[in-house]
A and B are shown apart, each in its own frame.
Chain A
Amino acid sequence: MAGSNVIEVTLPDAATPTREDIEQLEATFRAIVDLRFPDSRDWQKVEEALVIDGWTVRSQLMWVAEAHKGWESELATGRTKSEAFKQLQQLAKIDDVAGVP
């Protein structure tokens, strides 16, 4: 074990995780840790302040998909990965062509 607050999980010998697998495992554990042991409760103050200001507030875990090309970038979120990518495709597609005045 690397430290008292670091958990190491040994993958089965047969497992050959891809970079994407590792990213998803990390994200999953990070989400569990954040839900169980949040580093602060400051977000609650923000939520309360917004509610006082009349906002209805909700938060949820989402997929984020990003695309970059030169100086352009697109970012989409979705409840599922395919939802995020579908929206990302629309965002990237919508000004594929710059057009003329």
Chain B
Amino acid sequence: MADAVEVEQGCLARVRQHFRQELDGLRNAGLFKEERFIHAPQAADIEVEFPAGATPRQVINLCANNYLGLSSHPEVVAAAHAGLEARGYGMSSVRFICGTQDIHRELEQRLTTFLGTEDTLLFPSCMDANAGVFEALLGEQDVMIADRLVHASIVDGMRLSKAMQDTFKHSDMAHLEEKLQEHQDKRFRLVITDGVFSMDGDLARLDDIVALAERYGAMVFVDDSHATGFIGKTGRGTHEQKGVFGKIDIITTTLGKALGGASGGCVSGRAELVEMCRQRARPYLFSNSVPPVIVAGALKVLELISRTTERRDALEENTRYWRRLLTEAGFDIKPGESPIVPVMLYHAKLAQDVARDLFAEGIYVVGFFFPVVPKGQARIRTQLSAAHQKAHLDRAIEAFVKVGRKHDILNKSKKAITERYGL
């Protein structure tokens, strides 16, 4: 007995030692993720405790996916409360046993109408939707051809599918065409892309992708998580913006960003494909239903954004204003039209230092660097919200200019920054 205990202790000691070393490696590489504790509802102004134990401080939030400012909207909160009272806290079941309420189906139908598709299936998250959809629909006779900058959850989902995996260079239509030609022998071809790419904020060339897909007999899949609710004239998404509304075979998107920001996601698209996901997608089959409280909140969100485009219009205006402020101040930003506005710093440590100094100035942003973004492409990703007032952005640009001067990065080219700081 004593021997068994010693062996177990020896094994545990080795395990601990191994993972301590791994964690030290992450710290040394600057890849260790630390949580910052927020002492308030999600909003444009928040109180953040960082580092842990520090007195919480008021900061302007420029890093949330709260694009429409609905995460703490009083009507959404009230609807969630009402949903909690009317339908309870949890379902204690997966959907197909006893976890589907009338409001789950209602939300699916409302999403279908909003996205301009034929049917929709809710998942616990868009991560889960992406993890389940490819395995459910494709087999070894098929091929998935993905843009090389698609979201990590799509990569994971592709890995779970038996279909052949292939990629095309980011937004390179000539390369995509080559790949479609190469895979004409496959049963089904699925072109996979994000609608808005989360690192650069650029939009997929969906009009060109759909045209190529039609020419070569392929289906089109779009993860529109960073677009649903605000991209396009009425906020339906990238397919609306690019003039291919109704022509996308499969859309996945999230309730965890613009649509209230709680959690939950969906697969929406051709009726037979969605139905097959209902029968086969493992994250749907083996995870609990989206909680009623979130469903009720999301229904209210859809009602609000279907009633008026006020919030997406405000977001668009804030985005234009913020891009102009940064450009005029001499920052190097990725051009585009989405509320994801990356401020390019190229050097990993510089990105971390600038983010830290901005936090000290009351601006909450995060620096991203390799392997999260490609080598030599370190940046601060700023994200706009309809909840921002001009005053927030004026205050933020003051801080950015102050910190930019400190690090001597204003009106400096990539070459000048990298010559000074390296890559």
Interface residues of A (CB under 8 A from B): 71, 87, 90-91, 93-101
Contact = CB atoms under 8 A, between A and B. Distances in A.
16 contacts: A90-B166, A93-B148, A93-B167, A94-B148, A94-B155, A94-B158, A94-B159, A94-B165, A94-B167, A97-B148, A97-B199, A97-B372, A99-B150, A99-B372, A100-B199, A100-B372
Nearest to A91: B165
A96 B165 CA distance: 14
B52 interface: no
A71 B65 CA distance: 31
Interface in B17-31: 22
Q: Sorted from nearest, which 5 A-B pairs have the closest CB atoms?
A: A95-B155, A99-B152, A98-B371, A98-B372, A100-B198
Contacts of B146: 94
Interface in B143-176: 146, 148-152, 155, 158-159, 164-167
Q: Which of A71, A95, A96, A97 has the most CB of B within 10 A?
A: A97
Contacts of A98: 152, 371-372
Contact of A101 (B158, B198, B370, B374): B198
A90 B65 CA distance: 31
A96 B373 CA distance: 9
Interface in B367-403: 368, 370-374, 381
Given A95-B155, A100-B368, 14 more contacts: A71-B22, A90-B167, A93-B148, A93-B167, A94-B158, A97-B199, A97-B372, A97-B374, A99-B150, A99-B152, A99-B372, A100-B199, A100-B381, A101-B198
A15 to B, nearest CB: 38
Nearest to A89: B167
Contacts of A90: 165-167
Contacts of B149: 97, 99
B195 to A, nearest CB: 15
Nearest to B366: A100
A73 B190 CA distance: 25
A53 B130 CA distance: 30
Contact of A99 (B159, B166, B198): B198
A95 B165 contact: no
A99 B196 CA distance: 13
Contacts of B158: 94
Nearest to B374: A97
A91 B159 CA distance: 8
A99 B151 contact: yes
A60 to B, nearest CB: 14
Contacts of A87: 164-165
A100 B374 CA distance: 11
A96 B148 contact: yes
Nearest to A96: B148
A26 to B, nearest CB: 30
A64 to B, nearest CB: 17
Contacts of B65: 101
Nearest to B127: A101
Contacts of A95: 152, 155
Nearest to B25: A70
Nearest to B198: A100
A87 B144 CA distance: 12
Q: Which of B65, B164, B166 has the most CB of A within 10 A?
A: B166
A91 B148 CA distance: 11
A47 to B, nearest CB: 19
B192 to A, nearest CB: 10
A90 to B, nearest CB: 5
A87 B148 CA distance: 15
Nearest to B377: A97
A49 to B, nearest CB: 21
Interface in B72-119: none
B225 to A, nearest CB: 9
Nearest to A86: B166
Nearest to A76: B165
Contacts of A97: 148-149, 199, 370-374
